[in-house]
Amino acid sequence: MLSEYVKKTPKSLSLYGIASRMMPYGVSSNYRYLPPYPLYLVKGKGSKVWDVDGNVYIDFNMAYGALGIGHSHPKLVKALKERFENSSILGFEFADTIKLAKIIKIRYNVDMVRFSSTGTEATMHAIRIARAYTKRKKIIKFEGHYHGSHDQLLVNVSPDKEGEKSVCSHGIPEDIVKYTLVAEWNNYDSVERIVRKDGNDIAAIIMEPVAMNMGIIEPDVSFLKGIFNLAKEYGILIIFDEVKTGGKYYSGASGYYGLKPDLITLGKAIAGGLPLSVIAGRKEIMSVIGPEKTAHGGTFNANPLSVVASIVTLTQILTQDSFYEVYKLNSLLSKGYKDLVEDLDIDITAVTWGASGTIFFSNYLPRNYREFLRIDKRIWYKYFWLMLSKGIIPMADYDEEWTISTQHNKEDIIKHLEVAEEVLRKIKSG
Ligand SMILES: Cc1ncc(COP(=O)(O)O)c(C=O)c1O
């Protein structure tokens, strides 16, 4: 399955040889290393990207969901050129940050906002804020949920074994993760068991409100509501990590489910591909931040380029109307996969949420990480390399999802489905 990819990408292979001598695995993020070697890209425009060999791909990865507006959106290009003429970073507060705070406050129904640059920073700070507010140490996370690359939450993100606490990186001391407790997604009892035992020591329950790092696994609404009630009983804060979901539905998962968590984090798509993240929530909780109170700092926090990009993205591009068009294209794609399943009699389950969707190579929709783990990854990799060699990046990895941007069109979806049909027929025929 890899031979076509290897034939088409000799320059990527050669760059990998050079890069891996200077950068571990030749990449800047572990997640971008896909054996045998990563794809090295040079540019993107609209719904497409180009690699160093001159191959063009229709991009459905969209920078792991960071590009809900597609590549090089003309409105953003114009606004950023103008902004850059007046400096990229000022070292004092940038006045337009207040405009952005107001936009986020209204759109995501939060009282107060602070800005950082990455999703990792946002979830790290959200936990610190929750601990400072509650004066408690422990936190609950869910198996299969990813919240970035910091020590306390790199626990049971993608464990192979069941029932054990599993740290996902070398170099993380046991002492640091002893306060991280792990529950099962969509299993209220697993949360209740932990809370009834340790509830008075638990500062927060953090979750991806729609799990998007094990494909897409929506929560049962009764499960979510049960957790909110339980948390209230024990004074535990709920943190929705909306780094992905916040840019895939107009007002994120909080808006979609009509829930108001104590804190939310945002990142990825909200700044049109520039680094900007948000920690936001109830006023009395956010008020613990401050000099000689709870630390939150960063040279690049709310840098003017990201702030302007976010204002333009949220007010002019990711509008309610544009989401409506995106959802239509998204349904077209998932319906196309569902039709293929019938035509080809192949075990695939397609699912969508907001601007995203995915396929599981199974005849069931997984409801938690254990069910997700049972699916054979090898078929996904066959599918991925074949799709790639035929000019479609379907998503970034077997646990990721596609993102439909405001610059995708019907032709992109039709092309995706034509290639998928060819690829799935090939997989079926062995
Ligand atoms: C739900 C979620 N939270 C946090 C992060 C971390 O964001 P970043 O990669 O910007 O640090 C990610 C990244 O994929 C994510 O999916």
217 contact partners, CB below 8 Å, separation of at least 6: 144, 185, 186, 210, 211, 366, 367, 368, 372
Q: Is 399 in the pocket of ligand 1 (CB under 6 A)?
A: no
Quick one: pLDDT at residue 164? 76
> According to the model, what pLDDT value does residue 406 have?
98
- Cα(400) to ligand 1 centroid in Å equals 12
Atom of ligand 1 nearest to the CA of 119: 7
pLDDT at position 430: 80
Q: What is the pLDDT of residue 163?
A: 65
3-state secondary structure of 314: helix
Of the candidates 402, 320, 417, the one whose C-alpha atom is nearest the C-alpha of residue 353 is: 402
The protein residue whose alpha carbon is closest to atom 4 in ligand 1 is 147
Residues 6+ apart with CB under 8 A from 124: 148, 150, 152, 153
Atom of ligand 1 nearest to the CA of 245: 1
pLDDT of residue 159: 82
Cis peptide before 36 (omega within 30 of 0): yes
Q: Do 418 and 340 meet the contact criterion of CB atoms below 8 Å apart?
A: no
Mutational pocket test of ligand 1: of 120, 169, 300, the residue with most ligand atoms within 8 Å of the beta carbon: 120
Q: Which residue's entry shows tokens 């062995």?
A: 430
- Rama region for 25: left / alpha / beta (φ>0; ψ in -120 to 50; rest): left
Query: Which residue has its alpha carbon closest to ligand 1 atom 2?
Result: 147
Starting at the edge strand found earlier in the chain, the sheet holding 349-353 runs: 349-353, 356-360, 402-403
Which sign does the torsion angle of CA 298, 126, 275, 320 carry? Answer: negative
Instruction: Identify which of 127, 249, 268 to mutate to test ligand 1's pocket (most ligand atoms within 8 A of the CB).
Output: 268
pLDDT at 165: 85
Helix (H) or strand (E) holding 76: helix 74-84
Ligand 1 pocket residue status of 248, Cβ below 6 Å: no
Nearest CA to ligand 1 atom 15: 147
Architecture of the domain whose range is 74-317: 3-Layer(aba) Sandwich (3.40)
Distance, CA 247 to ligand 1 centroid (Å)? Answer: 12
d(CA 210, CA 109) in angstroms, rounded, equals 18
Backbone angles phi, psi at 325, to 5 degrees: -65, -40
- Does residue 119 have its Cβ closer than 6 Å to ligand 1? yes
First to last CA, the chain: 11
Q: Which of 244, 356, 399 to mutate to test the pocket of ligand 1 (most atoms within 8 A of CB)?
A: 244
123 lines ligand 1 (CB under 6 A): yes
Report the nearest atom of ligand 1 relative to the CA of 29.
Answer: 9
- Residue 42's SS3 state is strand
Residue 339: partners with Cβ closer than 8 Å, 6 or more residues away? none
Integer angstrom CA distances of residue 17 from 25, 27, 37, 355: 9, 11, 9, 36
pLDDT of residue 217: 98
CA distances from 295 to 94, 114, 145 (A): 20, 12, 25
Mean pLDDT per block of 10 residues along the chain (430 residues) reads 92 98 98 95 98 98 98 98 97 98 98 98 98 98 97 90 83 94 97 98 98 98 97 98 98 98 98 98 98 97 98 98 98 97 94 98 96 94 96 97 98 98 93
Rounded to an integer, what distance in angstroms lies between the CA atom of residue 329 and that of residue 416? 12
Query: Ligand 1 pocket, 243 CB below 6 A?
Result: yes
Name the CATH code of domain 39-68+319-428 (choices 3.30.9.10, 3.90.1150.10, 3.60.15.10, 3.30.1360.20): 3.90.1150.10
User: Does 357 contact ligand 1 (Cβ within 6 A)?
Assistant: no
Predicted local confidence at residue 123, as pLDDT: 98
Which residues are within 8 A (CB) of 141 and not within 5 positions of it... i.e. 6 or more apart? 147, 153, 155, 156, 180, 181, 182, 183, 205, 206, 207
Domains of the chain, residue spans: 39-68+319-428, 74-317
Tokens standing for residue 232: 């209230």
Q: Is 403 in the pocket of ligand 1 (CB under 6 A)?
A: no
Ligand 1 contacts CB of residue 147 (under 6 A): yes
Phi and psi at residue 378, to the nearest 5°: -60, -35
User: 113 near 102, Cβ under 8 Å?
Assistant: no
Distances (CA, A) of 324 to 135, 158, 246, 281, 320: 43, 33, 16, 27, 6
Distances (CA, A) of 146 to 106, 123, 163, 428: 27, 10, 18, 32
The answer to whether 147 and 211 have CB atoms below 8 angstroms apart is: no
